[in-house]
Amino acid sequence: MSLIVQKFGGSSVKDAERIKNVARIIAETYLKGNDVIVVLSAQGDTTDDLIAKAGEINPHASKREMDMLLSTGEQISVALCAMALEVMGLPVVSLAAWQVGIQSSGVHSDARIRRIDSERVQAELDQHRIVIVTGFQGVDRSGDVTTLGRGGSDTSAVALAAAFRADLCQIFTDVDGVYTTDPRLVPNARKLDEITYDEMLELASQGAQVLHNRSVELAKKFKVNLEVVSSLERKPGTKVKEVTKMMEKTNIAGVAKDTSIARIALVGLQHNPGVAFQVFDLLSKHNINVDVILQSIGREETKDITFTIHKKDQEEAETILNEHRAALRFDHIEADDKIGKVSIVGAGLMSNCGVAAKMFEALYEAGINIQMINTSEIRVSVLLDEEDVNRAVKAIHAKFFDEI
Ligand code: ASP
Ligand code: MG
């Protein structure tokens, strides 16, 4: 007997038919003699609809109240799914994150899971019940409901899999696995049979929508046996693991794009020690994540620091930086939200310097200008005009995958 965590995303539970379908998958797993913990997202576009509803009343609602509102989406899903399993005569219980004891930090709308109490879920499993848990949420020290950031249900699932040492964590979605790039954009994108945690982590944090990046971080840390599978078709998905068989002839696992970023440049900073520290310390105190950073020397002993952040943080970042303009002593801010990032990711990048050149060649051939370049051991990212992003993905994908 194994313990299996199964997570179903919003599209997999979007209506009654889909919920019944999900219930059948869960039932099949349970009836094979496994213990099953299920994690669900809100149905379809529920979370977006709730955000829109809030906007009609208060576009600047506090994050606490937003969490109170958004957490209801997942609560609907778990109750409905439990009802579908009840109809099938199976023992089941649905639980909200606060009932489980998914303890989180108190950062509303972006909380981190700190600890998961095991008693309640274990007691239910001991009674041979299927346990269905709300994804995307936790409870903070003061007992308030928090949410984990958009797409956070994947992270809930992996955290539960780690806490209960599950044998397998299956992420069910409406695609049948992880692809070399978004198949809606590039129809001949290929499904990967397996991918390493590191590659998946880079792809997820570079904009591939398949998995929440923090879920992959957790999976790597706790060596969770992770699998991305389709809820609509029965066929093998993509396994995410420590090492994979090297892909033949190609050094990259995939191409990702991200158009949710904005670029901010602080122009005319003093060229003194401590300036970068002051800037990024300030942003981190406001929980603003910074991605690509570039520093360049300007005229007259000044320097410019340019960095990218999520579009949603742009307004706040500009406000905070302007408030501290006297202390930071910069001349002015330049902001641009019409940019995008395209990345290639592959464990083989480390040992093959020709790979980056091949990416730049593809961009050159497509006549696309690069604004900034950033690399890690297994990734090369370029910043481009937002309108060039899709063309860049197609050109790069063709360069790496069409010739094989
Ligand atoms: N329902 C949440 C969202 O739409 C969480 C999730 O689906 O993972 O972001
Ligand atoms: Mg998702």
Other CB atoms within 10 A of residue 264 CB: 23
Q: Give the C-alpha distances (Å, rounded to integers) separating 233 from 21, 40, 172, 177, 236.
A: 11, 18, 10, 11, 9
* pLDDT value of residue 272: 87
Give residue 132 CA to ligand 2 midpoint distance, Å. Answer: 17
* pLDDT value of residue 218: 97
Name the burial class of residue 320, with classes exposed (0-12), middle (13-18) and buried (19+) by CB atoms within 10 angstroms of its CB: middle
* pLDDT value of residue 351: 76
Closest ligand 1 atom number to CA of residue 10: 7
* pLDDT value of residue 175: 86
* pLDDT value of residue 46: 98
Ligand 1 pocket test: pick from 47, 110, 133, 134 the residue with the most ligand atoms within 8 Å of its Cβ: 47
3-state secondary structure of 312: helix
Contacts of the segment 186-192: beta carbons below 8 A, 24+ positions apart? 186/393, 186/394, 186/397, 188/401, 188/402, 189/397, 189/401, 190/401, 191/238, 192/238, 192/247, 192/253, 192/254
Closest ligand 1 atom number to CA of residue 42: 1
Nearest residue by C-alpha to atom 4 in ligand 1? 47
* pLDDT value of residue 368: 98
Q: Which residues of the chain have pLDDT under 70?
A: 246-250, 403-404
8 in contact with ligand 1, CB cutoff 6 A? no
* pLDDT value of residue 246: 59
* pLDDT value of residue 352: 79
* pLDDT value of residue 299: 72
Owner of token pair 């992270």: 155
* pLDDT value of residue 300: 76
* pLDDT value of residue 298: 73
150 in contact with ligand 1, CB cutoff 6 A? yes
Ligand at minimal distance from the CA of 39 is 1
* pLDDT value of residue 66: 98
44 in contact with ligand 1, CB cutoff 6 A? no
Give residue 211 CA to ligand 2 midpoint distance, Å. Answer: 6
Side chain identity at residue 184, one-letter code: R
